[in-house]
Structure 1
Amino acid sequence: MTEQSSKSLSKTGWVSIGMLSLVFFGAYFVLRALPAAQCGFLHYEEIVNAEGEIELCATNHAGFIDLTRFTYPIVTELSSDTALEPGVTAQVELNLQTQGGTNIAPHELAVTHTEKMHVMVIDPSLEDYHHVHPRADGLNGRYQFDFKPTHGGAYRVFTEIVPLRSRSQAIALSELAVAGESQRPKFERSTVSVVDGVRFELLGAPESLQRGRDYRFEVKVAGAEGAVVHLETIMGAKGHMVAFDAAGKGFAHMHPVDSVASARTAGFGGGTEESSELAFLFNVPNTGWYRLFAQIQVEGKPVFGRFDLQVE
């Protein structure tokens, strides 16, 4: 080997070492920037009680989660002892595991918005929406919930948790087969919905939304002839909102923008019972139609308003 070749290899070696050093330094600072709080990513914040214990995790995060772009290290398997049929209540068992096959017990989950697990269930037509909180059946990673579908087809089931070990949000997507033919969703822009005598109105939504942009929506709730509706606390706030896309890529689970501050100061109430307006943030990465469900509770009963919006 010539002296010139030796110097060239030496120079190349030092350049490689320098580049590797930059990579490691960059990774170090990226890891340092990641949230160390138990409540993890996506703007979850810890609500601490008087004893200094983490009472729950809360967020008003606006982002739509596209599950074709993100993979989470958990899986769920759903089963039922009886065939699922429209109009019939059945018990569904949910088996929660890591991708490696390890069961995830309830004591390994953080409380987020007063619950250890949020499960959003929607049929193919995006008409029949359910928000449930499965109950644990021991420590073997098995959970159960009651389910009464109104339509046929393959329901999509989004399971949302925050494992204490990873300290970050995790989502699993699975399906429940219900007897009968499925229907395709039909969309028409709508910002007013009347359900069970409750009128929902979505304020702040332009005729056409832009992807990747934050929007602040207000949901105004009123009763017959404009009567005041007393909103009861549900999951630590006076209301919640979920959005699904026509393409079936994912969902957004939104909470009132003042719910975190209210939780710190008002015993997780998220506002006063007399409040009839709720504010939410909304941001999606993809174009297309979206169906939004606003959930409130009145006289102990959940009520769901529905809106359709188009993103260009």
Structure 2
Amino acid sequence: MDHSKHNHHNHQGESEVKTNVTYDNEKISIKLEDHEGATPELAVEHEKEMHFILVSNDLEEYYHLHPEKVQDGLYTINQPLSDGTYQAFVDIVPEGKAYQPAPNTVQVGTGKTNKTSLEREDNWTKEIGGKKVTLEDVKAKASEAVPLDFDMHGEKPEHHLGALGHVVIVNEEAEQYIHVHPDSENTTSFHAHFPNPGMYKIWAEFKFGDEVYTYPFVIEVTE
């Protein structure tokens, strides 16, 4: 399997596909349209046509969802959300079209959520559901390949969506989206490219048994 082609989603350039995300009565709807007004065909990527990442403006809430196509150009999924302001990133691979995920603002209810200022952390080991994961020391520089190596403390995660793990990264302004997959089929090591210096939040997803656990980390990227 060639992982070099799709192990990193941070495509540059003009997107030829527009996304429109709405929320009503606990249902998220995503409409897709290319620059000519037609419906784009989507390639299956890591077992799904669409990976949908939703984060609250303060980066406290995180959802990785897989909406289903209900008609050409329309995907939906039911997901109750608390009142607040969210940014949605539609992670797709349109056939023959340039595309880069950009934030879609979603307002739920009337309560606004402010953007955040991320603080550097020194807790690189997180335990969730009795499963411990450590992010090894990261020296992140912008525009370089940055290794993200996760120590699973002797436990091997299950394959989840075609990989041993998934890492989603968003900058503190909730404007830049990066989704990386492992370097190979049987590793929990990743490489990410950060376009700009600044503070970024990482959500690392690993599956143990039937549960997917999400481990959050904050890193600083330097020039």
Task: Return the TM-score normalized by structure 2.
Answer: 0.87
Q: Tell me if 1:311 matches 2:221.
A: yes
Pick from 153, 157, 164: which aligns with 2:95?
164
CA shift for structure 1 position 172: 4.7
Gaps of 5+ in 2: none
Take 2:93 and 2:10, find their aligned partners in 1: how far apart are those partners?
Answer: 17
For residue 306 of structure 1, report the CA deviation from its aligned partner.
Answer: 0.9
1:97–1:64 Cα change, 3 Å:
closer
Structure 2 residue 61 is matched with structure 1 residue 131: no
- In angstroms, what is the RMSD of aligned CA positions? 2.4
In 2: Cα distance, 1:70 partner to 1:126 partner: 26
Equivalent in 171, 180, 183 of residue 257 of structure 1 = 183
1:200 matched to which residue of 2? 133
Match of 2:43 in 1: 110
**In 2: Cα distance, 1:253 partner to 1:307 partner:** 15
Does residue 189 of structure 1 match 2:121? yes
Size of the alignment, in residue pairs? 218
Aligned residue number for residue 100 of structure 1:
36
Equivalent position amino acid for 2:55 in 1:
I
Correspondence for 1:219: 150
- 1:148 is matched with 80
Taking only the aligned residue pairs, the percentage that are identical comes to: 22
Residues 295 and 286 of structure 1, relative CA distance in 2, 3 Å threshold: same
- Are the aligned partners of 1:109 and 1:161 in contact in 2 as well (CA < 8 Å)? yes
Residue pairs, 1:1-312, within 5 angstroms: 43-44=4-5, 59-61=6-8, 64=10, 70-82=13-25, 90-104=26-40, 108-138=41-71, 140-150=72-82, 152-166=83-97, 169-179=99-109, 180-185=111-116, 186-190=118-122, 191-206=124-139, 209-222=140-153, 228-258=154-184, 270-271=185-186, 278-312=188-222
Larger Rg: 1
Change (3 A) 1:80 1:286: closer
8 A Cα contact 1:74 1:97, kept in partner: yes
Are the aligned partners of 2:56 and 2:87 in contact in 1 as well (CA < 8 Å)?
Answer: yes
Deviations, residues 246-289 of structure 1 (Å, cap 9, x unaligned):
1333111000001xxxxxxxxxxx32xxxxx6100022121110
Distance of 1:72 and 1:279 partners within structure 2: 29
On the 8 A contact 1:162/1:170 being kept in 2, the answer is no
Structure 2 counterpart SS, 1:110: coil
Higher helix share: 1
Alpha-carbon shift at residue 235 of structure 1 (Å): 1.2
Structure with greater proportional strand content: 2
Structure 1 stretches of 4+ with a deviation exceeding 4 A read none
Measured in 2, the distance between the counterparts of 1:245 and 1:74 equals 23
Scaled by the length of structure 1, the TM-score of the pair is 0.63
Distance 2:89 2:204 in 1: 17
